[in-house]
Amino acid sequence: MDPRVEKIMTAAEFIAAKLDGRKPVVGIVLGSGLGKLAEKIENPTVIPYKEIPGFPVSTAVGHKGNFIAGELGGKFVVAMQGRFHYYEGYPMGLVTLPIRVMKVLGIQYLFVSNAAGGVNYDFKVGDLMVITDHINHLPNPLVGPNMAEFGPRFPDMTRPYDKGLRMKAFEIAAGLGYSLKSGVYFAGTGPSYETPAEYKYFRLIGADAVGMSTIPEVIVARHSDIPVFGMSVITNEAHDDYAEDYVNDGDDVVVAADAAADRMTACSRRRMAPVGHGTAGSTRNRNRSSERKAEKGGFCGTKTKSDAQERKPVVAFFCCSAFVPCG
C-alpha cells in the first residue's frame, strides 16, 4: 500500500473506533478564531490532534487543535477545531491529511472557513464572504504521485465551490434578513502579512479577500469529488492606502474572528433565529483613513464601521443549513 494512503487509513481507523460506527455527513474546517462553533456540537467526542496517529499539531494562534465529532443541527458531523498551515512548516501532504481522513470516514460535504483580509473596497470588517472561486499562490497539494484511491490525476477545478450550496446559503441568509458578500479568495504562503503593493496586485487580478489557507483543502476535497462550501470572515480591510502609523496585528485578526464566532454560537442555540446585536469586534485597521471608511457602505447598507461590526451574522447556520437542514 502507498505509505501516504496507509497513513490516512491509520488515522481514519483510529478516529472511527471512537465514533461507535456512525458516519459523518459533513466535515467542517474552522479557521483562525472560529473554533467556538465546535463548542456547540452536541454530545461531542473530542480527540486532540496529538493523539491521532500521523496528525501534526496546530501551532497557529486561535487554533485549538481538536478533532471533534457530534451532533450539529440534528446531524452527525466532524469538525477540525483549527487547521494546519504551510507556513507552520508542514508539507502539503500533512496540511491536507485531515480532508482525506474525513473522506474515508464518510463525509458527503465539506465546509471550510477562514479569517481573511478584505481586498475589495466594498468589504467591511465583520462581513461574511461566500467564496465563489479562488486564486492559489500556495503549492498544489496534488503534486507528486497521484493517489488514485481518492481521485484522478487531473481533477477538474471549473467549479471548486458548489453552486447549489452557495445558492442555498444566500436563500437562508435572505430569509433571516442577513446580507452576504461573495467573491474570490486569494491564498499566499504567509506568515508575513502582505504589502500595500501586493494588496493592490491581488485586487487587480480579481481577488476580493486574501488569506493563508483553505485552498489546499479545497483542492484535495475536489480531487475526492466532495462538494465544498467556503466562507471567509472579513477581519480587516486589506487596502493599499493605510495611514502612516498603521500596522497589521495578528492578535486583532483573532479578536475580530472571535467576535464573529460569538454570533455563530448564539445562532446555533436559537436554531437559525436572527441574532441580536452585540459588542463590535476589534479591527486591524484602527488607523485607516476616515475618507475611505465614509465612502464605502457598511454591512447591510450601513455607513459606519461600528454598525457593520454590530451586524456580524454567523457562519453556524451555513454549517447547519447549507449542508444539514435544520428542523
Q: Where are the alpha helices (DSSP H) in 17-141?
A: 92-95, 97-105
pLDDT for 310: 36
CA terminus-to-terminus distance, the chain:
43
Q: pLDDT digits over 244-270, tens only?
A: 666 666 566 666 666 655 544 434 333
When the pLDDT of each residue in the chain is averaged and rounded to a whole number, the result is 79
* Per-residue pLDDT at 212: 95
* pLDDT, tens digit (0-9, with 9 covering 90-100), for 89-122: 999 999 999 999 999 999 999 999 998 999 999 9
Among the residue ranges 18-27, 37-46, 86-95, 285-294, the one predicted with the least confidence is 285-294
- Report the percent of the chain where pLDDT is more than 90: 56
Please compute the mean of the pLDDT values over residues 51-57 and round it to a whole number: 94
- Residue from 278, 232, 321 nearest 25 by CA: 321
What are the extents of the domains in the chain?
A: 3-323
d(CA 169, CA 267): 15
How would residue 1 be classed by pLDDT, with cut points 50, 70 and 90? confident
Structure confidence at residue 7 as a pLDDT band (50, 70, 90): very high
Residue 317 has pLDDT above 50, yes or no: no
In contact, 93 and 147? CB cutoff 8 Å: no
CA dihedral (231, 64, 57, 60) in degrees, to 10, reads 70
Query: Is the four-CA dihedral 95, 96, 99, 104 of positive or negative sign?
Result: negative
Rounded alpha-carbon distances, angstroms, from residue 201 to 182, 193, 194, 240: 19, 14, 10, 10
- Asked which of 92-96, 159-163, 165-169, 176-180 is least confident by mean pLDDT, the reply is 176-180
| pLDDT given at position 281 | 33
Residue of 41 and 61 predicted with greater confidence: 41
> CATH 3.40.50.1580: does it fit domain 3-323?
yes
> Is it the case that residue 225 has pLDDT exceeding 70?
yes
DSSP conformational letter for 323: I
